[in-house]
Every structure is written in C-alpha cells, then in structure tokens.
A = this chain, B = another copy of it.
C-alpha cells in the first residue's frame, strides 16, 4: 500500500476520535496504518506539524456557508461553527487551541472574525483586540465544555445540565462592548 499525507492526517483524526489525544502517538498511528513509525516521517516532518494539520482538517470539515448579514450576527455564526467543528471530534478543542497557541495553522477563524468586525466599522485597533478576545472566549469555553462532557461521559452522565452552558451569553457580553464602540466610531 501507498500512503499520502492526507491519508496520514485522516487516520490521525480517527485515532484521535476513538482513543483520545493522549493515545495519538506516532507509533500508535504507524501501527494503525500498518507501517513502521519511521515511515511517517516521509509524509510529515514531525508530530507537531501533524497535529497542526489535524487541527486544520478538523476546522475544514466543520466549515459551513455564511448566511448572516449583520456583522454581529456573523460573529455569532462564525463562533458557533468554530465551536461545533471542535466538538465534533474527541479532544478536538484541545488540538485546535494548541495549534493556534503555537501559531501553527488554524488561521481561518481568525480571518473570518476579523472581516466581520471590519464590516462593523470598528477602528483597526479594536478589530485586532476584538478578534483575539472573541477567539479566547470561544477556545476557552469550548475546551472547558468538551473536558466536562468527556469527564461526564466517563462517569455515565448523559449531558451536563446547562445545555450550551453560557456560550452564547458570554459571547453576547463581549459583543455588547463591541457594538457600543462600533456605533460610536
């Protein structure tokens, strides 16, 4: 059999989803592909960049068409898409956030938020500050949510009681501040 980079990344995602991030090792992935660990390094320079590719693929698979017209509604839309994309795979949030922290991949959500805030007529500095603040909120919230969900499912609880546990609410708090400055600018 002949493998390509995309096969390696795809298989990495299934290992991630079935066994979790701590089980996603190069050796484990290699054996899952029926290949020696060293063979992986022909398709990927190292584990870090593999994880970055996994993060990008997770986001790409979660991509949805943009419907909203108002800039603030579009922010909510992008954030919901981002959150759903990360929640779709076990430890997905952790992988995406880590990749983003190290500046690897995962640049797309940032760009979408940026353009939404620009369309809102916010001054350039606030577009920057606002984009990062929104991302931190979504990332932090989703990692927490996914960790709690996975801990709960290990303990046989079906769902945490909160439903979306304040995701939209906290986003709305931040949007309040941005809207106030958009009309003032």
Contact = CB atoms under 8 A, between A and B. Distances in A.
Interface residues of A, number: 32
Copy number in this complex? 2
Contact of A132 (B103, B129, B141): B141
B147 A132 contact: no
A165 B169 CA distance: 25
Nearest to A139: B140
A183 interface: no
Nearest to A137: B136
Given A147-B102, A177-B175, A136 B140 contact: yes
Interface of A: 101-103, 125-126, 128-130, 132-133, 135-137, 139-141, 143-144, 147, 151, 166, 169-170, 172-178, 180-181
6 residue pairs, one from A and one from B, having the closest CB atoms: A136-B140, A173-B177, A176-B177, A133-B170, A129-B166, A129-B169
